[in-house]
Amino acid sequence: MSSIDHYENFPVASWLCPAHLRGAVTALYHFARTADDLADEGHDPAHHRLDALGEYRADLQNCLDQQAHSPSTRWPKVFNPLRRAAQEHHLPAQPLFELLDAFEQDVVYTSVGQGYKNRAELLDYCRRSANPVGRLMLHLYGVNDATSLTHSDAICTALQLINFWQDRAEDLRRGRDYLPHGHTLAQELRFARELMWQGSPLVHRIKGRAGWELRAVVQGGLRILDKLDERAETAEHADLARPTLHKLDFVHIAWRCLRM
């Protein structure tokens, strides 16, 4: 869990992350965080946000082009470290561009008040907004088998859904609704829990400290779901307060990690 004031489905480089990967993990985090801020923060109209994301996309392409070395004019603190990480670790380009696709979709959907007709549409969004993060992390750890990728996708999608449901009140105030039409919040909380458990065997395929960090990510998400389940029984969707983890929650998470 990070100290930034929002639930992170991106595993920010902690002391559990191997030292030789911290630079790459931090570079990927700042790439995703900055793009998300361009799409979501401030009061710029949608067309300005899309223009900025278009510039960001061009800088990403330049960053990944091994023949191009001109620095980003607007985001050198993002793309200079990302260039080094891409060259050192041979980062795949597709997951990075998929993240930008998702951020651009968010801008467009929010601007016209569009929701999701069904769960399949929402999961397609998560495929681009969340799953690339896990695949990039597995790439850094040298894990690329189909089973691990499937488990990673389940965990990342679950974390994205948990993020939606814990921030639902704020999203509704911003005119954004991720709840699929015809579905209840209780149904989607159960579905997120099922996905998390489907992906949880991955913690046994990632060795060393990274495996323990993944255990904490999984159990932290499940603990947030516990709290959301309790509140969803008594609160309207628009009044569902964002849960806070306290000392006893972290003890609970640690105990669950040891028992996985």
**Domains defined for the chain, CATH in brackets:** 14-112 (no CATH), 115-260 (1.10.600.10)
Q: Indicate left, alpha or beta for 96 from its phi (over 0: left) and psi (-120 to 50: alpha).
A: alpha
Report how far residue 162's alpha carbon sits from residue 172's, in angstroms, rounded to the nearest whole number: 15
Rg (CA), the chain: 18
Among residues 252, 249, 237, the alpha carbon closest in space to that of 164 is found at 237
The Cα 173–Cα 223 span in angstroms is 25
Check whether 181 has a pLDDT greater than 70.
yes
pLDDT digits (tens, 9 = 90+) for 1-42: 333 344 454 444 455 678 889 999 999 999 999 999 999 888
User: Mind listing the pLDDT tens digit for each residue in 70-119?
Assistant: 666 789 999 999 999 999 999 999 999 999 999 999 999 999 999 999 99
- Give the 3-state secondary structure percentages of the chain, helix then strand then coil, rounded to 5: 70, 0, 30
Output the average pLDDT for the chain.
88
Q: What is the pLDDT of residue 153?
A: 98
